[in-house]
Structure 1
Amino acid sequence: MAQSLEQALADFSPGLPFAVALSGGADSTALLLACARRWPGQVRAVHIHHGLQAAADDFEAHGRALCLQLGVPLAVRRVQAGHAPGQSPEDAARKARYQALAEAVHTEWPEVQDVALAQHADDQVETLLIALSRGAGLPGLASMPSQWQRQGLNWHRPWLAVPGAALREWLQSQGQSWVEDPTNTDEKFTRNRIRARVLPALAEALPAFRETFARSAAHAAQAQEVLNEVAAEDLLRIGVPPSIAALQSLSRARQALVLRHWLRLHHATTPSTAQLHELLDQVAACTTRGHRLHLKVGQGFVRRDGACLSHST
């Protein structure tokens, strides 16, 4: 069963005090309002002003008014997220947002260790469907975690089992307004097309899809945890930089796993499927001392450096 707002809030146990990421939309407005009532005096808010649309100033104004109403300290940060070649503007904006959130919390309230985000059950389904449409592996199918650690903070998504409609209904029952993102109805964005066309069809055909999809995502996340452990063990075995001979002693599937792990952990980059397959073919071909290897992989290049692989940008 989908969780109610009250159930989700009862299951949420952040360290106090904590911060809420406040966009000004319905989901984060509901999160800040509910948290401020449950933990009076213990909640802080951070608003990220992207400047990506005309309504950005309206979101900030709503956030300031709401925080003043609730007596919640507010930090506002402005970001202009440029995107690298091959990177989507949405992905660049997301990374810039997380960076700005973390910097604001560390700067304004050093005592804060926890941050709450307002993504809900429909967001989770949309993320899973987008991952499926792109042929994603387990990391993509695992979708969004409910809790994780990054940049010295504990991040939480307490609404992840709550349908978006339930949050709006609750806000209406409280007489609380919010700012509607004008781009939410623009179906040139894949997520909006899914929200407008696919979710209603799923609700009719598979009424419990939010819960069953969430279970599938949880299974994928659990399987990925096991693979991460295997990759970490294999990386210890092959060394850093990776020994080509040690790599060749592993199966192709485990070579792929450990190479992804090495590139992500040590070089903060992820190869495409085509790049990884080509890299595996080249590793297999490194049977003579003179075989050269120089491939574009992720945001840089993988080369053969004697008996090992190296990565550079």
Structure 2
Amino acid sequence: MTQPFEAAIAAFAPGLPLAVGLSGGADSSALLLACARRWPGQVHAFHVHHGLQQAGDDFVRHCEALCNRLQVPLQVARVDARHAPGQSPEDAARRARYQAFSALAQSASGQPAIKNIALAHHADDQVETLLLALSRGAGMAGLAAMPARWQREGLLWHRPLLQVAGGAVRQWLAEQGVGWIQDPSNRDERYTRNRIRLRLLPVLDEVFPQFRDTFARSSRHAAEATALLRELAEADLAQVGVPPAIRALQQLGAARQANVLRHWLREHCATTPSSAQLQALLAQIKACTTRGHCIHLKVGSGFVQRNNAVLDWYNSALL
């Protein structure tokens, strides 16, 4: 009987050559091994040294040994992934990692150029992402969790293992006789994701054995709803204009106003409002019925203010 891991690899059809993000852990090691076997000579490995722990050098040495064994070219990027004040350590490391992967793809030698990158996130990671989103009161985009495939900066990114439980990935790798390195930070319960993994997932496994499949189904529904909301926002923004006209916004219901304002702020201002900020902005738009009404609100990383008949946003950091 074909294992879930093997079925996922068989269904994976990326463009070649392919780069695999390799941390040295079980998940990425399994993905690299399976891809290298399926497409010999067409697979590269990218490793990011985050500079956050002493064990980082051990991760590099393990990745070098594995890639030598598989005859896979390895590129290593060293980054400073320390988080800024107010930024979560996980988010800082994730951003640094994606930037490093993009840079490695651009610098990789060989023809044709690398345009496809595979990451080893699996079904357990997807559940953790969904639970984190729920704990933060996220909207539809957050509840959609991680996409299986997406495009950014000219690269096509893949997560072929999102339907495979973490245990099945590790079981397959153990059957191949390949070892992996354990990241000690994965046991650190100061991080919310680790507490979810170590405390909640075992309970869910006991109470709702099918939770990976059902949670994934909910995330797919949320992803579909997110796509519809984006289409509606694009259509509404075409009507209200950029920057948005206040009178045109007032012709929309509150939910559509919120949807189009989020879209405008995200796509045209590169910022995201909090729920409280968005509600305050909606209240001001509703109250804006006189020529002298002033709007000046902190929204995201800057301010939204009234400029005659329209709303403007400016970044306070640039002043």
TM-score (norm 2): 0.95
List aligned pairs for 1:187-226, cutoff 5 A: 187-226=189-228
Q: Which amino acid aligns with 1:22?
A: L
* Residue of structure 1 equivalent to 2:299: 297
**8 Å contact 1:235–1:258 — kept in the other structure?**
yes
Q: Which runs of 5+ in 2 are unaligned?
A: none
**1:165-185 superposed Cα distances (whole Å, 9 cap, x missing partner):** 111111111111111010111
Runs of 4+ in structure 1 deviating by more than 3 angstroms, as ranges, are 82-86
| Percent of aligned pairs with the same amino acid | 64
* Residue of structure 1 equivalent to 2:124: 122
* Residue of structure 1 equivalent to 2:45: 45
Q: Which amino acid aligns with 2:134?
A: L
- 1:75 and 1:311 mapped to 2: Cα distance? 41
Aligned length: 312
User: Aligned to 1:24, what secondary structure does the other structure show?
Assistant: coil
Q: Which amino acid aligns with 1:27?
A: D
List aligned pairs for 1:93-132, cutoff 5 A: 93-109=93-109, 111-132=113-134
**1:62-95 superposed Cα distances (whole Å, 9 cap, x missing partner):** 1111111111111111111344443222112211
* Residue of structure 2 equivalent to 1:19: 19
Q: Which runs of 5+ in 1 are unaligned?
A: none
- 1:157 and 1:197 mapped to 2: Cα distance? 25
- 1:82 and 1:146 mapped to 2: Cα distance? 28
- 2:194 and 2:83 mapped to 1: Cα distance? 21
**1:39-68 superposed Cα distances (whole Å, 9 cap, x missing partner):** 000001111110111211111111111111
TM-score (norm 1): 0.96
- 1:305 and 1:60 mapped to 2: Cα distance? 54
Backbone CA RMSD of aligned residues: 1.4
User: Aligned to 1:224, what secondary structure does the other structure show?
Assistant: helix
- 2:82 and 2:296 mapped to 1: Cα distance? 28
1:35 aligns with 2:35: yes
- The 1:241–1:84 alpha-carbon spacing in structure 2 relative to 1, beyond 3 Å, is farther
**8 Å contact 2:51–2:81 — kept in the other structure?**
no
1:235 to 219, 234, 237: 237
User: Aligned to 1:112, what secondary structure does the other structure show?
Assistant: coil
**8 Å contact 1:15–1:113 — kept in the other structure?**
yes
List aligned pairs for 1:269-288, cutoff 5 A: 269-288=271-290
Deviates more, 1:15-24 or 1:84-93: 84-93
1:160 aligns with 2:165: no
- 2:246 and 2:190 mapped to 1: Cα distance? 45
Deviation at 1:234, TM superposition (A): 0.6
* Residue of structure 1 equivalent to 2:262: 260
Deviation at 1:310, TM superposition (A): 1.1
* Residue of structure 2 equivalent to 1:62: 62
Q: Which amino acid aligns with 2:108?
A: E
User: Aligned to 2:268, what secondary structure does the other structure show?
Assistant: helix
